[in-house]
Amino acid sequence: MTYKIVCLDVHAPEVREIMQSMVPEGFQLEMANSYGEEEQMRLAREADFIMAGWATVPDKMIRSAKNLKLIQKWGIGYDKIAIETARELNIPVAIAAGSNAIPVAELTVGLMLCVYRKVPYVDRNLRTGRWLKTEMRGQSYMLCGKTIGLIGLGAIGKRVAKLVRCFEPRLQYYDIVKVSPDEAEELGVEYREFDDLLTTSDILSLHVPLTSETRGFIGKEQFLKMKRSAIIINTSRGGIIKEDDLVWALKEGIIAGAGLDVFETEPPLPSNPLLTMDNVVLTSHIGGGVLDNVANVTRHAFGNMQKIISGKPLTERDIVIRKIS
């Protein structure tokens, strides 16, 4: 028997080639050519396995897929999957935990540097003939000696901690689950209560999933507790920050800047004020989007599908919805 894997995302030719080359024996991979509802629904209807990264997996899609054995997130954020429908229909949902940690962490550090050194602003001006050398000294900063506060210390947060240590900052974190004292020492991080983290961090970096508990987690109340010189970095999900409140905080000088890979609405509307701000560095939800990590994520996702077929348990940290026997 051949099991059908449906990839709902529209990938570049180079990515498609890698993914097709890794399809396990006994499986067939069919990949979407568009995000149009008709094609997405058609593909999912015959699927044994749905694999989705950017694509939405809505209620009606799950209900139409009568052979569905697993919904596999190609990455980690599962906020675009109709989780309660999957739970109702006893369809397991899994992520590829940790698979994007390295590229997302690298972009996080890159955004910190770009915001502190205003790289896009300087680049844009240089291309129009403005040589901003002496002017930038009065508005640029280094990471060395700063206090970096990590909200969430999962795989990505830990990788960020490892990467930035070479800049010699002070590292602190808040998470609902504390790491062991030995791991905290190894990572060079110190636990802080949430409000304490807000008031003492020069750089606040978000690394939590978007859930009902974290939606709107950072808003006016939190910005007012931060240093006026602080910057915020978000490579997790846009909904964690109340975007209108962020615009307010940036315009009023409540905080100094932001580096954002994610937005409440993606792509952001052309009228979004963040697009015009020189103290904001923006990227288009590209945190995990690197060619040399495609094989790693794909291998992880396909491995979970093979476990489902063979009756082996999924790794605990990959499980979002567990199938009830």
Identified catalytic residue from 37, 84, 252, 266: 266
Residues 26 and 136 in one domain: no
Residues 170 and 117 in one domain: yes
Residues 296 and 308 in one domain: yes
Give the single-character DSSP code of 260: E
Residues 120 and 54 in one domain: no
Residues 177 and 246 in one domain: yes
DSSP three-state, residue 231: strand
Residues 251 and 304 in one domain: no
Q: How far apart are CA 144 and CA 84, in angstroms?
A: 45
Q: What is the CATH number of the domain that holds 164?
A: 3.40.50.720
* Predicted local confidence at residue 191, as pLDDT: 98
35-43: long-range contacts at Cβ-Cβ below 8 A with a sequence spacing of 24 or more? 35/8, 35/10, 40/8, 43/6, 43/8
| Amino acid, res. 258 | A
Alpha helical stretches, state H, 69-180: 83-88, 101-117, 119-127, 134-137, 155-164
Residues 55 and 185 in one domain: no
> Among this protein's residues, is 285 annotated catalytic?
yes
Residues 175 and 86 in one domain: no
Mention every residue, 6+ apart, whose C-beta is less than 8 A from residue 2.
26, 27, 28
Which pTM value belongs to this model?
A: 0.93
* Predicted local confidence at residue 325, as pLDDT: 80
> Among this protein's residues, is 84 annotated catalytic?
no
Identified catalytic residue from 207, 237, 243, 300: 237
* Predicted local confidence at residue 77, as pLDDT: 87
Q: What is the pLDDT along the chain (325 residues), one digit of tens a residue?
A: 899 999 999 999 999 999 999 999 999 999 999 999 999 999 999 999 999 999 999 999 999 999 999 999 998 889 999 999 999 999 999 999 999 999 999 999 999 999 999 999 999 999 999 999 999 999 999 999 999 999 999 999 999 999 999 999 999 999 999 999 999 999 999 999 999 999 999 999 999 999 999 999 999 999 999 999 999 999 999 999 999 999 999 999 999 999 999 999 999 999 999 999 999 999 999 999 999 999 999 999 999 999 999 999 999 999 999 999 8
Please give the residue range of the domain that contains residue 179: 101-282
Burial string for 75-111 (b: 16+ CB within 10 Å, else e) reads bbbbebbbbebbeeeebbbbbbbbbbbbbbbbbbbbb
What DSSP string runs through 4-68? EEEE-S---HHHHHHHHHTPPTTEEEEE-S---HHHHHHHHHT-SEEEESSS-B-HHHHHH-TT-
Residues 32 and 142 in one domain: no
Number of domains in the chain: 2
Residues 151 and 173 in one domain: yes
* Predicted local confidence at residue 253, as pLDDT: 98
Residues 68, 69, 73, 76, Cα dihedral to 10°:
140
Q: How far apart are CA 294 and CA 291, in angstroms?
A: 5
* Predicted local confidence at residue 136, as pLDDT: 96
The phi, psi pair for 11, rounded to 5°, reads -100, 160
Q: Count other C-beta atoms under 10 Å from residue 240's C-beta.
A: 22
Residues 216 and 231 in one domain: yes
> Among this protein's residues, is 16 annotated catalytic?
no
Residues 52 and 177 in one domain: no
Q: How many residues does the chain have?
A: 325
